[in-house]
């Protein structure tokens, strides 16, 4: 193939660049028509790969990005990624078509909408085609960002912004965890390529990072695919325009997590943790979502919880499919097939249902199911589509949902026979939970379609006069609904073209060619099959419960809002914000003393601790020089002067004592054979004292401003700590000199090389003249600074007045 | 002699830190003065206090004091003098503007939270 098809991933982004221009310049035509070409072209293009993958082949195209780090954009098209690419572009095209009629070209900011949507399309194609985990992560976050933008599309509404932020927080949290997992995988395998990682995966089992990487990657998948307990962002994301909900939050983005689990199954299926987590969390999500869907009163909220629940179903099937890694029996081999098959089915019926919910909203002005009813005769086409979608969702024949539900029940029943990892004990729970969840699925499907379209007409009370939607708006849902029916009658064609290549991609350890996946979908298993009786049970119990819905729906009110997962999320957010505020107020007092206390305490504690922990404290008396009498006397003088500084009550006393300290330091310089230092010190001390006197004359009296005794005590302790630290460090470092001084060189060469006799001066201006240069600069800057502070106050005052 | 000096330097540091932690701006400046004295003596002591003659070449002298620490201290003295002078004027200006030398009253206000 000559075309570098990896570039096609970026086609929507490139197209997005022109959208604002088209939107501004061409007012007569709805911008969506231009956009429509992109997914349609891509869809047609990606269908050409179906032939390749059906034969067990794959296509690869690579674009180097950062070769030195092993990071590249790769378009790897095998059964799984072709299937997802077709879903993305196919449903993308239908959604764009639908949005043309849903969004008004004069009232809406279409430029923004389609830019975000195309951005999302690129990101999604990148996620499912990337073979490089780093570029996969890049596209993954791009889906989060574009989803954030789309949910917040009507950004003037509070609920939209809240929903956008919430989904961002949850999915980006998961994304970052996933990045951690990817990096651990990269460390384990020494490569970022998924194919190479899969090839090396047998060596990962038992690696110290294996389980950690597994859990981190699952966190990414669970947050994106709205699994328990991370599903909370999805119902709030329903504030997005309905085409977005249909596209992102039912058919594509939420399936990115499923894709991730499927893609990494060959690496992690060896782990017990993987099978338990994926199957268990999936089943829990299925149950939880179906249970709470019945509680909702908003059409899109029902669909959101239903999406959560169905994603859980697919997730649990992916987990059950991973069992084939351990037991290669026909009993388990169709779980993965069922997962992929249901993934396709769900995309078709959920997409159409969302579009119908949008139509109902569009044509009646409300999505509240309590206000709706009796729309069947007014909106016959919408009703038909909604009926087909709902019945498929409930798992009834002759719709595709029936087939996948049967296979789901069959898989859950099969889990009982899995003997490892404690499944023999707990396996029986799985079919029971799955069955109860299916009953609730049945109830909310009926609830959704019949409460909206049958019953008493409430036409007068609706915000708008209801009528059937325009034909253009109905095209997409009708196409999807026809697929729902068509797949029921030709499941094995779909299986052969799309599902089996995908299954082969997920289970390369088991199959080397799609035709080896021996699964034949049939609608009729005979009376002997347990699934059939389970389905009949679902229908009977579900129907009974649906008919008595008004009697028991109120029990949902028992659960108080304060202990829901949403309340926990809100509490966490408030707590982190308030808690962090309180924490920083606690230690950021604004007082300089507090900060200095931290600094000094840290300095002395860590230094002393390190000294003794590392056995670094050594005093070697032999290296010390002799104690001189003059030195001792001078030391006493200096100590006395310091004491006077501390005790002095007046400014003058303190300055004089400070001067005394300076002069005795100068005396030390004399005693220790440093004439230049002594000279400088004397002069500078004199000038300093003069400066102090000059400045202090204008300052208030020396005062401790009523400092409390306890503060003074703390200051004293910290000060003593610093003093002791300095003494200990000085003693032990002097005792442990590792190399001789370089001063011998100066002594030897001062006359021959520099032609001077005073070594200190020669060092200052010759050997190390740069120090001196910049020391002069420091003095100059200090002088200019002083001048500035004194002279420029008028100008500064004026400007500060202006600021006020 | 190094032992005596080390203790002396410790005392200088203790006094300096104690003053720096106080609430009065004046005491803080005095504290920094003491701190630089302590640091200078520390450099000198760490260089070794041996040496019979100052580091000036003269006939028949071989045991010089180490010249390098002296050069470093000379630089440090000048720099600390510059900084001290600057701080003194700053304290003077701060007092002229704020009419206080209490550090607790000079803390930032809540406007910038």
pLDDT of residue A562: 66
Question: So what's the pLDDT on residue A801?
Answer: 53
CA dihedral A547→A350→A471→A160, nearest 10 degrees, is: 100
- Do residues B97 and A699 lie in contact, with contact meaning Cβ atoms separated by under 8 Å? no
CA dist., res. A404 & res. A347, Å (int): 13
Residues of chain A positioned with their CB less than 8 A from the CB of B10: 723-724, 726-727, 730
Is residue A336 within 8 A of residue A507, CB to CB? The reply is yes
Average pLDDT over residues B69-92: 92
Q: Are A702 and B27 in contact (CB under 8 A)?
A: yes
Q: From chain B, pick out residues whose CB is under 8 angstroms from the CB of A790.
A: 89, 93
Q: Which residue of B has its CA nearest to A621?
A: B3
Are residues A600 and B17, on separate chains, in Cβ contact within 8 Å?
yes
Q: Which of A598, A626, A634, A695 to mutate to test the interface with B (most CBs of B within 10 A)?
A: A695
- Given an 8 Å threshold on Cβ–Cβ distance, is B24 in contact with A703? yes
Find the closest chain B residue to A749 by CA distance: B57
CA angle, A524 as apex, A518 and A525 as ends, to 5°? 65
* A348/A83 Cα distance (integer angstroms): 13
Q: What single-letter DSSP state applies at residue A758?
A: B
Q: Which residues of A touch B77 (CB under 8 A)?
A: 677, 680-681, 684
pLDDT value, residue B104: 81
Task: Confirm if A73 and A9 have CB atoms less than 8 A apart.
Answer: yes
Q: How do A59-66 and A71-77 pair as beta strands?
A: antiparallel
Task: Provide φ and ψ at A76, rounded to 5°.
Answer: -110, 110
- What pLDDT, on the 0 to 100 scale, is given for residue A794? 58
- Chain B contact for A581 (CB, 8 A cutoff): no
Instruction: Look at residue A332 and give its three-state secondary structure.
Output: helix
Which tens digits make up the pLDDT trace of A120-152? 999 999 999 999 999 999 999 999 999 999 999
Q: Which residues 6+ apart lie within 8 Å of B41 measured at CB?
A: A665, A668, B5, B8, B9, B12
How many Å lie between the alpha carbon of A666 and the closest alpha carbon of chain B? 10
List of chain B residues whose C-beta atoms are within 8 Å of the C-beta of residue A619: 3
Which tokens hold the place of A739? 């190399």
Kindly state whether A701 is in contact with chain B, defined as any CB-CB distance less than 8 angstroms: no
pLDDT number for residue A371:
84
Q: Are the beta carbons of A581 and A697 closer than 8 angstroms?
A: no
pLDDT, tens only, A434-471: 999 999 999 999 999 888 888 877 766 777 777 778 88
Residue A528's pLDDT is 66
Cβ B34–A661 below 8 Å, yes or no?
A: yes
ipTM > 0.90, yes or no: yes
Q: Are A436 and A285 in contact (CB under 8 A)?
A: no
Q: Do A707 and B6 touch (CB under 8 A)?
A: no
Which pLDDT band holds residue B113 (cuts at 50, 70, 90)?
Answer: very low
Contact A726 B30 (CB under 8 A): no
All residue ranges of chain A with pLDDT < 70 are 1-3, 419-424, 459-460, 523-528, 560-562, 704, 793-804
> Which pLDDT score, from 0 to 100, does residue B103 have?
82
Pairwise CB contact (< 8 Å): B6 & A680: no
Asked if A341 and A495 touch (Cβ cutoff 8 Å), the reply is: yes
C-alpha–C-alpha distance, residues B41 and B52, integer Å:
18
Which of A651, A654, A699 best probes binding to B when mutated, by most B CB atoms within 10 angstroms? A699
Q: With beta carbons under 8 A apart, name residues in chain B contacting A677.
A: 44, 70, 73-74, 77
Question: Nearest-CA neighbor of A453 among A506, A380, A347?
Answer: A380
- Interface residue A677 vs chain B (CB under 8 A): yes
Closest CA to A282 of A322, A249, A319, A233: A319
Structure tokens at B34: 């003491």
- The position carrying tokens 């399309």 is A121
Looking at CA atoms only, how far is residue B6 from chain A in angstroms? Answer: 5
Which residues of chain B neighbour A775 with C-beta distances below 8 Å?
A: 75, 78-79
Crossing angle of helices A629-647/B25-46, nearest 10°?
160
**Residue B66's closest CA among B83, B86, B85, B52?**
B52
pLDDT band at residue B33 under the 50/70/90 scheme:
very high
CA distance A334 to A340: 10
What are phi and psi for residue A706, nearest 5 degrees? 65, 35
Identify the bridge partners of residue B64 per DSSP, sorted by sequence position: B53
- B chain contacts of residue A598, beta-carbon cutoff 8 Å: none
Residues near A133 by beta carbon (within 8 Å), at least 6 away in sequence = A182, A185, A186, A192, A193, A194, A197
Q: What residues of chain A, 297 to 336, have a C-beta less than 8 Å from chain B?
A: none
Query: How many Cβ atoms from other residues are within 10 Å of residue A95's Cβ?
Result: 29
Nearest to B66 among A627, A723, A743 (CB): A743
Those residues whose C-beta lies under 8 Å from the C-beta of residue A339, and which sit 6 or more positions away, are A258, A262, A314, A317, A318, A320, A321
Place of tokens 């001062």: A750
Q: Is there a contact between B53 and A673 (Cβ–Cβ < 8 Å)? A: yes
């Amino acid at each position: 193939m000559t075309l570098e098809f990896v570039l096609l991933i970026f086609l929507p982004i490139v197209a997005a660049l022109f959208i604002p221009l088209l939107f501004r310049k061409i007012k007569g035509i709805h911008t969506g028509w231009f956009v429509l070409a992109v997914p349609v072209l891509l869809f047609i293009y990606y269908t050409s790969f179906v032939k390749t993958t059906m034969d067990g082949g794959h296509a690869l195209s690579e674009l180097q990005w950062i070769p030195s780090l092993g990071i590249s954009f790769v378009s790897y098209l095998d059964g799984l990624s072709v299937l997802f690419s077709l879903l993305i572009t196919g449903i993308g095209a239908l959604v764009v078509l639908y949005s043309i009629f849903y969004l008004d070209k004069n009232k809406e900011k279409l430029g923004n909408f389609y830019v975000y949507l195309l951005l999302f399309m690129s990101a999604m194609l990148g996620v499912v085609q990337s073979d490089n985990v780093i570029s996969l992560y890049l596209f993954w976050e791009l889906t989060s960002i574009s989803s954030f933008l789309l949910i917040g599309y009507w950004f003037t509404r509070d609920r939209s912004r809240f929903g956008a932020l919430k989904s961002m927080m949850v999915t980006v949290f998961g994304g970052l965890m996933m990045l951690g997992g990817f990096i651990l995988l990269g460390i384990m395998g020494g490569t970022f390529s998924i194919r190479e990682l899969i090839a090396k995966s047998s060596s990962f089992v038992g690696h110290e990072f294996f389980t950690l990487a597994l859990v981190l990657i699952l966190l990414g998948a669970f947050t994106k695919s709205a699994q328990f307990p991370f599903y909370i962002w999805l119902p709030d994301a329903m504030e997005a325009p309905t085409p977005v909900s249909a596209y992102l939050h039912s058919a594509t983005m939420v399936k990115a997590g499923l894709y991730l689990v499927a893609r990494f199954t060959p690496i992690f299926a060896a782990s017990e943790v993987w099978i338990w987590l994926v199957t268990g969390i999936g089943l829990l999500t299925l149950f939880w979502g179906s249970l709470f869907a019945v509680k909702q009163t908003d059409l899109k909220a029902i669909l959101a919880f239903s999406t959560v629940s169905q994603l859980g179903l697919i997730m649990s099937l992916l987990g059950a499919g991973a069992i084939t890694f351990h037991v290669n029996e026909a009993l388990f081999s169709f779980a993965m097939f069922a997962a992929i098959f249901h993934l396709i089915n769900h995309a078709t019926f959920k997409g159409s249902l969302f579009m119908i919910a949008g139509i109902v909203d569009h044509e009646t002005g409300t999505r509240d199911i309590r206000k709706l009813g009796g729309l069947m005769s007014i909106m016959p086409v919408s009703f038909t589509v909604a009926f087909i979608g709902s019945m498929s969702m409930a798992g009834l024949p002759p719709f595709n949902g029936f087939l996948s539900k049967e296979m789901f029940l069959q898989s859950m029943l099969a889990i009982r026979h899995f003997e490892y990892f404690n499944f023999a004990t707990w396996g029986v729970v799985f079919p029971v939970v799955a069955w109860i969840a299916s009953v609730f699925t049945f109830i909310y499907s009926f609830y959704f379609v019949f409460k909206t379209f049958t019953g008493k007409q409430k036409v007068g009370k609706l915000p708008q006069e209801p009528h059937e939607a325009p034909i253009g708006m109905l095209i997409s849902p009708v196409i999807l609904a026809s697929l729902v029916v068509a797949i029921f009658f030709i499941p094995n064609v779909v299986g052969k073209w799309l599902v089996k290549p995908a299954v082969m991609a997920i289970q390369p350890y088991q199959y080397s060619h799609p035709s080896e996946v021996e699964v034949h979908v049939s609608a009729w298993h005979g009376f002997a099959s347990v699934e059939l009786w389970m389905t009949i049970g679902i229908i009977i119990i579900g129907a009974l419960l649906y008919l008595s819905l008004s009697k028991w729906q109120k029990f949902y009110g028992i659960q108080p809002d304060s202990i829901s997962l949403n309340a926990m999320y809100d509490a966490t957010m408030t707590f982190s914000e308030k808690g962090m505020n309180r924490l920083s107020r606690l230690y950021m007092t604004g007082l300089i003393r507090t900060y200095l206390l931290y600094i000094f305490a840290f300095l002395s504690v860590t230094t002393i601790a390190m000294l003794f922990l590392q056995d670094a404290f050594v005093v070697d008396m032999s290296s010390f020089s002799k104690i001189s009498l003059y030195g001792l006397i001078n030391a006493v003088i200096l100590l006395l002067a310091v004491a006077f500084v501390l005790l002095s009550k007046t400014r003058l006393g303190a300055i004089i004592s400070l001067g005394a300290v300076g002069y005795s330091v100068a005396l030390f310089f004399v005693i220790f054979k440093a004439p230049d230092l002594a000279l400088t010190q004397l002069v500078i001390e004199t000038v300093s004292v003069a400066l102090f006197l000059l400045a202090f004359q204008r300052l208030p009296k020396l005062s401790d401003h009523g400092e409390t005794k306890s503060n003074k005590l703390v200051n004293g302790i910290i000060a003593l700590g610093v003093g002791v630290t300095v003494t200990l460090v000085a003693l032990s470092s002097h005792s442990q000199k590792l190399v001789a001084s370089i001063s011998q060189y100066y002594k030897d060469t001062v006359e021959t090389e520099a032609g001077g006799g005073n070594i200190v001066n020669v060092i200052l201006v010759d050997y190390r003249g740069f120090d001196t240069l910049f020391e002069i600069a420091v003095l100059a800057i200090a002088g200019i600074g002083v001048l500035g502070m004194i002279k420029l106050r008028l100008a500064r005052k004026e400007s500060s007045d202006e600021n006020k | 002699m190094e032992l005596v000096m080390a203790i002396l330097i410790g005392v200088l540091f203790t006094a300096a830190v104690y003053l720096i932690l106080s609430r009065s701006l004046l005491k803080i400046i005095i504290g920094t003065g003491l701190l630089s004295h302590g640091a200078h003596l520390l450099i000198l002591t760490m260089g070794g206090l041996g040496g019979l003659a100052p580091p000036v070449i003269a006939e028949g002298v071989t045991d010089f004091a180490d010249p390098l620490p002296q050069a470093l201290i000379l630089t440090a003295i000048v720099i600390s003098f510059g900084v001290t002078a600057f701080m003194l004027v700053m304290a003077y200006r701060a007092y002229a503007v704020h009419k206080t030398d209490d550090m607790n009253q000079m803390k930032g206000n809540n406007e910038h939270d």
